[in-house]
Structure 1
């Protein structure tokens, strides 16, 4: 009897894993198309980009309009801010952004640099907050930007400060997204970053740019986020803070932010 129950339980779990929800998938397809678009999209174009027919998505679009996720503009449709508003209700992200804002503002103001905060998301990293250079001239990233992981300083920091299982999963996910970024020495690199406590190196993507990144740690010593300063020499500023000062200030800011979100002082 026990064996029969175990077989039935496994069968139920297998069915659950293979179960599909066509209506939900159509709705998500619509939202993803509209989120990627910079302007309103006609119903015909929306259907084409979602790989659906107009008949398949018509009622779903109306439902999303009624629920406030999508707005109708003449004969086209555009995403509203409702998804963004809901995302702000997520407690971990909300706490991180709430505590990060004043720390990042202070860092940028004292050093006259820009800084940004990224989190890992399925093989890529996403910019969730940024502060521009107070003087108005500098390198900065747009909030919401997707960044590569294994070839960027901040991305490697997000992978280095994890347990081995999570580290391996993130490497695999990142390579699935960008197989051309495989590095046979990546394990050695990540171990070195973890030993140092941060990474600081010339950018592999932007010539003349130097990147410094520290992890924002949880109580287990795992990186919830990476706080990064893109640093470039300014030939018109003889008194510009040197990179050593950037390291020191960024380390202090990252430590403070880690403590604010629950990581005990080490």
Structure 2
């Protein structure tokens, strides 16, 4: 008997790992400068990336010429050009969403005298793609482009509560600090968020701020963002809306944005949330509960 194999039986070679060192260094420059908003000189960038000036200088010059970086003529420090955010918006669904949501967010902030911000999933993190400051003298506002922890932030937990099963499991599995007990507690919290349609709790980062967040849905009932109000209590009697009234206004705003993004009140399709509470490598337990999208918003 012949020991030869047919073509179909031949083992497939692993995919080639292509390398583009200059391109990778360009990405590394942007990621490094994102952690230094005041800017870095060329020598500081080289040191931060453990490269020589010669290995990085031409890359920086080209990035400046292409307006990916700005250079301060007085300090020779480089910063990331806001043009990058514009390009990202044009290349992703963020642009359409921000165009639709902007007027509604301004109306909401003017009405309740609180700031609000819009968070979209960005891999295993959340990204603030739009924010609106309130007109009053006192405000708490989240930075545009802020990178948020999905597991611990109010906005992130809303995205997880209504998110795609595989994505949610990936986010939870990738969190190296999430112990099995903590994961079970989080999953129970996500069940609550999903069943009532929103999250409202003290800020995980700032004392005196209550975070209120509602999901934004798109076509087919898929969650595409979270709209959040970091509610700041005034102690001088100048409060326009209390927390419950602000939440109701936020719910209505989220509903209006969702409808413009293609969501219908009769749409009951939701990507099921994995209500497993499993630890890494553990067996899945429990069964997800389907929730109608219209239950997320008050009538």
TM-score scaled by structure 2?
Answer: 0.78
1:229 corresponds in structure 2 to: 229
Distance 1:6 1:250 in 2: 59
Structure 2: any 5+ residue segments left out of the alignment? 267-299
Report runs of 4+ in structure 1 exceeding 6 Å deviation. none
Matched-pair contact (CA < 8 Å) for 2:233–2:239: no
Matched-pair contact (CA < 8 Å) for 1:108–1:115: yes
1:92 corresponds in structure 2 to: 93
For the pair 1:4 / 2:4, whether they are aligned, the reply is no
Distance 2:27 2:9 in 1: 35
Distance 2:79 2:231 in 1: 37
1:261 corresponds in structure 2 to: 261
Deviation at 1:248, TM superposition (A): 1.4
What does 1:1-266 correspond to in 2, within 5 Å? 4=7, 7=10, 10-11=12-13, 14-16=14-16, 18-74=17-73, 75-173=76-174, 175-176=175-176, 179=178, 182-237=182-237, 240-266=240-266
Matched-pair contact (CA < 8 Å) for 1:161–1:221: no
Deviation at 1:244, TM superposition (A): 2.0
Deviation at 1:56, TM superposition (A): 1.4
Distance 1:59 1:164 in 2: 44
**Pair 210,51 (structure 1): closer, same or farther in 2 beyond 3 Å:** same
**Pair 214,3 (structure 1): closer, same or farther in 2 beyond 3 Å:** farther
Secondary structure of residue in 1 paired with 2:131 = strand
| Structure number with higher helix proportion | 1
Distance 1:260 1:7 in 2: 52
Alpha-carbon displacement from aligned partner over 1:127-169 (angstroms, at most 9, x marks no partner): 1111112112132111111222222221100111013222211
Distance 2:99 2:207 in 1: 33
Alpha-carbon displacement from aligned partner over 1:91-127 (angstroms, at most 9, x marks no partner): 5110011011100000011111111111122332221
Distance 2:125 2:187 in 1: 18
Secondary structure of residue in 1 paired with 2:139 = coil
Matched-pair contact (CA < 8 Å) for 2:117–2:128: yes
What is the CA RMSD across the aligned residues, in angstroms? 2.5
Matched-pair contact (CA < 8 Å) for 2:121–2:225: yes
Aligned length: 260
Matched-pair contact (CA < 8 Å) for 1:69–1:79: yes
Deviation at 1:76, TM superposition (A): 4.7
Distance 1:3 1:236 in 2: 82
Distance 2:47 2:239 in 1: 55
Matched-pair contact (CA < 8 Å) for 1:159–1:171: no
